[in-house]
């Protein structure tokens, strides 16, 4: 491409001055293809550049940048395979500093004598000389002046690419800033800032994020982009919400005082105030001509199952079908069994749809579901994946659903009938997360617990002490109670390195059943067993035949055995607090007080132990989830793989909760006035919403 060609947003990176085809491939590895991509490729940090001129000014242990000439290089290989590369710099103001890299032999090739460089890093005094380990390096060209003293952006890199490559490429595309249109109207940028200085406009923000004059300016630029990212997400959620609420038709399922009383009579206890309040919400939602989209958040044992049962019976009372989807077959079976018992003597037809049901039976069941002769279907994800055709589905409930994300839910709604939709999550999710993962839902919270539940007494112990604990377990079981022992995995594995190999449920079971708990009836259950097998073993525990159940975290959610009082958790440090809380919630559900004991892996760090100690003292699921979010981040909290979290590039849910709230509030207001973002001033926002979240939330760009 000729050098006088005008650079445009769409110009492929290889034609950007200073990049070329080879380096363009490296950029492509990071997902950058066009000039504009680079403009939106943000630094991960900044380094304050103050080119010190002389060693006399260097202070041990502080960050500094030195300017000097390469006078010598060396590289060594130790016996242990470690390599060391050293580069000696003669500082322009006098004295020497040695730059050192470990295990990066390729560094040797980057330097030659006479080069002028700036090196930034922590200064280490060896007594006789100064060193910088693994400095950030900026190579200066022939006669090139060191940059003025201002923050130097540090970009995420890929192998083969250096800071200066990215920096110079960004400098080359920076003039494009002029051509970038503002997506967020000034009015909104003002409101987003509240009483403070309005958010930067796009041009200023792009310039400032790449070439800030000081750190404060860089922070203001980031603030704009953080807001933008969260705002676009919340707009998508609000649009999705508005559409499903106000445009899709759903069956009107009106309750009556009679129906209400009849359903309540089915429960062996009076409902709590919170349960009744949530049920009121649900009755109103289901009576609407638009689908209910409601999330019930309630701590373990807060009585969500009752709500689910109520809602299903409410649908059935008006001749509609109801379906309940559980995350595991184990749970689906338990729900099925409990509901079946409860409905004994009624005409309500209830069936279980699970992966393990043989093909013939399943085909027959599917037919009956399609004909509408089955009233309530309890199932696993098979409910969605098998494209079950419901004759008259009025309500879909997803239980313990923190494993299903926004996308899975959008997929559910693609089915022809649009039922009312209820989600129950057992993990109390911090507000910032629920606004992101469940931003498209109305939320009801169950805070009040049913009477008769006491706090589970929780201990953090040591494997060295385990004999004492097992004796306690034996005592409890002898007095008639039952116990869980949970291990994070099925098999053991020794891929763990420093903290030693892990104990799987299978070897743990063998060890306990033949050792400390040999006198008790100990059984095993884990996720790899087939459905029937699991079911049999679970039933045996439920009936009291099995006294101690060794399990993986399959028992984490929704198992209800009121006689179980003891929860032992091995390698508890591997788990998040929310997960531990779930596990702890499996015991002490009946008349008897519960006890939990956590055994962390030997040799864990103090802070990890501290985390467990905090858990032992804290019984508020919401507080624990918040703690988890701060300490482990959102991915860990929701389970990394199926977190359902939309990818965020610059915003951080653990940090930017306030911005998220603001973004959400403004998004909801805007969508209320302009539901499809059709106003001209919202045009660019609309395009961003569709491009980023359109497919996930089934917001297509029609009209
Ligand atoms: P969750 O699913 O929220 O963890 P469950 O619905 O399983 O909680 O309820 C926990 C326990 O409390 C169950 O044993 C249930 O039978 C009982 N329970 C629920 N609601 C009430 C209530 N209103 N009064 C007494 N016990 C209740
Ligand atoms: Mg439950």
- Of 117, 119, 112, 115, nearest to 58 (Cα)? 119
Å from CA of 326 to ligand 2 middle = 10
- Atom 16 in ligand 1: residue holding the nearest Cα: 303
pLDDT at residue 499, as a whole number: 47
680's tokens: 């001209």
- Chain centroid to Cα 370, Å, comes to 36
Ligand 1: nearest atom to the Cα of 562: 14
Question: Which residues, 6+ apart, have CB-to-CB distance to 210 below 8 Å?
Answer: 39, 42, 43, 153, 170, 171, 174
Tell me the C-alpha distance between 664 and 239, whole Å.
12
Å from CA of 264 to ligand 1 middle = 14
Å from CA of 198 to ligand 1 middle = 49
Radius of gyration of the chain (CA): 30
Ligand 1: nearest atom to the Cα of 308: 6
pLDDT at residue 699, as a whole number: 61
pLDDT at residue 61, as a whole number: 75
- Atom 11 in ligand 1: residue holding the nearest Cα: 301
pLDDT at residue 52, as a whole number: 67
Tell me the C-alpha distance between 526 and 82, whole Å.
43
N-to-C CA span, the chain: 39
- Atom 14 in ligand 1: residue holding the nearest Cα: 589
556's tokens: 């984490």
Tell me the C-alpha distance between 78 and 101, whole Å.
13
- Atom 9 in ligand 1: residue holding the nearest Cα: 303
Q: Answer whether 612's CB lies under 8 Å from 569's CB.
A: no
Give the ligand whose atoms come closest to the C-alpha of residue 298.
1
Å from CA of 293 to ligand 2 middle = 19
Ligand 1: nearest atom to the Cα of 585: 4
Q: Answer whether 133's CB lies under 8 Å from 124's CB.
A: yes
290-310 pLDDT, tens digit each:
889 898 988 877 889 999 999
Tell me the C-alpha distance between 474 and 550, whole Å.
14
Which single residue is written with the structure tokens 């802070």?
Answer: 607
539's tokens: 């039933």
Q: 457 by DSSP, 3-state: which?
A: strand
Tell me the C-alpha distance between 78 and 694, whole Å.
54
Question: Which residues, 6+ apart, have CB-to-CB distance to 558 below 8 Å?
Answer: 305, 326, 331, 334, 335, 399, 400, 426
Å from CA of 394 to ligand 1 middle = 25
| Pocket (CB within 6 angstroms of ligand 1) | 269, 271-272, 275, 298, 300-306, 426, 450-451, 558, 560, 562, 589
Q: 187 by DSSP, 3-state: which?
A: helix
Give the ligand whose atoms come closest to the C-alpha of residue 401.
2
Q: 34 by DSSP, 3-state: which?
A: strand
Pocket of ligand 1, candidates 295, 422, 450: which has the most ligand atoms within 8 Å of its Cβ, to mutate? 450
Which single residue is written with the structure tokens 């931003």?
Answer: 439
- Of 97, 98, 102, nearest to 78 (Cα)? 102
Tell me the C-alpha distance between 586 and 573, whole Å.
19
641-672 pLDDT, tens digit each:
344 566 778 888 778 888 998 999 999 999 99
Side-chain-facing half-sphere of 300: CA atoms under 13 Å: 29
Give the ligand whose atoms come closest to the C-alpha of residue 275.
1
Question: Which residues, 6+ apart, have CB-to-CB distance to 389 below 8 Å?
Answer: 366, 369, 370
Ligand 1: nearest atom to the Cα of 305: 6
Å from CA of 303 to ligand 1 middle = 4
Å from CA of 305 to ligand 1 middle = 7
Reported residue count of the chain is 703
Pocket of ligand 1, candidates 306, 399, 561: which has the most ligand atoms within 8 Å of its Cβ, to mutate? 306
- Of 222, 225, 56, 224, nearest to 151 (Cα)? 222
Give the ligand whose atoms come closest to the C-alpha of residue 331.
2
Q: Is the pTM of this model over 0.95?
A: no
| Tally of helices (H runs) and strands (E runs) in the chain | 22, 22
Å from CA of 557 to ligand 2 middle = 7
Helix (H) or strand (E) holding 486: strand 482-486
Å from CA of 336 to ligand 2 middle = 12
Question: Which residues, 6+ apart, have CB-to-CB distance to 170 below 8 Å?
Answer: 38, 39, 41, 153, 155, 210
Instruction: Tell me which residues of the chain have a pLDDT lower than 50.
Output: 1-4, 406, 495-500, 639-643, 701-703
pLDDT at residue 2, as a whole number: 44
Pocket of ligand 1, candidates 279, 301, 427, 584: which has the most ligand atoms within 8 Å of its Cβ, to mutate? 301
- Atom 10 in ligand 1: residue holding the nearest Cα: 301
Helix (H) or strand (E) holding 32: none
Q: Answer whether 262's CB lies under 8 Å from 429's CB.
A: no
């Amino acid at each position: 491409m000729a050098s006088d060609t005008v650079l445009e947003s769409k110009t492929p990176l290889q034609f950007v001055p200073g990049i070329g085809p080879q380096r363009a491939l490296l950029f492509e590895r990071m997902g950058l293809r066009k000039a504009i991509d680079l403009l939106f490729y943000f630094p991960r940090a900044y380094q304050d550049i103050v080119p010190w001129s002389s060693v006399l000014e260097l202070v041990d242990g502080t960050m500094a940048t030195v300017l000097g000439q390469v006078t010598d290089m060396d590289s060594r290989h130790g016996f242990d395979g470690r390599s060391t590369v050293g580069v000696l710099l003669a500082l322009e103001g006098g004295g020497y500093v040695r730059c050192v890299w470990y295990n990066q032999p390729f560094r040797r090739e980057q330097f030659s004598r006479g080069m002028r460089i700036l090196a930034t890093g922590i200064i280490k005094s060896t007594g006789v000389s100064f060193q910088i380990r693994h400095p950030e390096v900026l190579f200066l060209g022939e006669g090139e002046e060191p940059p003025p003293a201002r923050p130097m952006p540090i970009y995420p890199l890929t192998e083969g690419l250096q800071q200066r490559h990215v920096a110079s490429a960004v400098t080359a595309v920076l003039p494009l800033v002029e051509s970038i249109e503002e997506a967020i109207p000034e009015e909104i940028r003002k409101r987003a800032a509240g009483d403070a200085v309005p958010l930067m406009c796009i041009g200023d923000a792009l310039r400032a994020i790449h070439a800030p004059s000081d750190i404060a300016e860089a922070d203001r630029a980031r603030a704009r982009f953080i807001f933008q990212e969260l705002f676009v997400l919340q707009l998508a959620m609000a649009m999705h919400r508005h559409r499903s609420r106000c445009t899709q038709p759903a069956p009107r399922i009106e309750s009556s005082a009679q129906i209400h009383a009849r359903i309540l009579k089915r429960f062996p206890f009076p409902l709590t105030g919170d349960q009744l309040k949530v049920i009121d919400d649900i009755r109103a939602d289901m009576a609407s001509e638009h689908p209910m989209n409601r999330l019930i958040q309630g701590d373990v044992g807060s009585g969500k199952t009752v709500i689910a049962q109520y809602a299903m019976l409410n649908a059935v009372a008006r001749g509609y079908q109801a379906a309940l989807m559980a995350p595991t077959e184990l749970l689906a079976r338990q729900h099925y069994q409990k509901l079946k018992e409860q409905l004994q003597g009624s005409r309500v037809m209830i069936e279980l749809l699970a992966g393990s049901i043989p093909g013939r039976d399943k085909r027959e069941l599917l037919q009956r579901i399609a004909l509408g002769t089955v009233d309530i279907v309890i199932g696993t994800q098979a409910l969605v994946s098998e494209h079950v055709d419901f004759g008259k589905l009025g309500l879909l409930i997803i239980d313990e659903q923190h494993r299903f994300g926004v996308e899975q839910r959008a997929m559910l709604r693609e089915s022809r009938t649009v039922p009312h939709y209820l989600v129950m999550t057992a993990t109390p999710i911090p507000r910032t997360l629920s606004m992101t993962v469940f931003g498209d839902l109305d939320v009801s919270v169950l805070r009040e617990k049913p009477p008769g539940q006491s706090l589970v007494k929780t201990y953090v112990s040591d494997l060295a002490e385990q004999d004492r604990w097992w004796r306690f377990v034996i005592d409890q079981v002898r007095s008639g109670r039952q116990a869980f022992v949970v291990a994070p995995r099925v098999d053991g594995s020794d891929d763990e390195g420093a903290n030693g190999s892990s104990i799987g449920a299978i070897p743990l079971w063998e060890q306990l059943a033949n050792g400390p708990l040999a006198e008790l009836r100990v059984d095993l259950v884990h996720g790899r067993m087939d459905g029937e097998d699991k079911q049999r073993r679970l039933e045996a525990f439920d009936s009291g035949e099995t006294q101690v159940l060794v399990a993986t975290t399959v028992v984490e959610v929704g198992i209800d055995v009121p006689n179980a009082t003891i929860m032992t958790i091995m390698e508890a440090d591997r788990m998040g607090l929310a997960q531990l809380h779930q596990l702890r919630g499996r015991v002490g559900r009946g008349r008897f007080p519960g006890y939990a004991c956590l055994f962390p892996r030997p040799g864990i760090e103090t802070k990890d132990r501290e985390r467990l100690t905090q858990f032992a003292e804290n019984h508020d699921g919401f507080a624990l989830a918040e703690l988890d979010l701060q300490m482990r981040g959102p991915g860990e909290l929701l389970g990394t793989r199926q977190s359902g979290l939309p990818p965020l590039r610059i915003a951080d849910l653990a940090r930017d909760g306030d911005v998220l709230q603001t973004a959400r509030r403004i998004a909801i207001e805007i969508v209320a006035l302009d539901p499809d973002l059709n106003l001209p001033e919202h045009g660019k926002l609309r395009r961003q919403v569709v491009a980023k979240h359109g497919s996930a939330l089934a917001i297509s760009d029609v009209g």
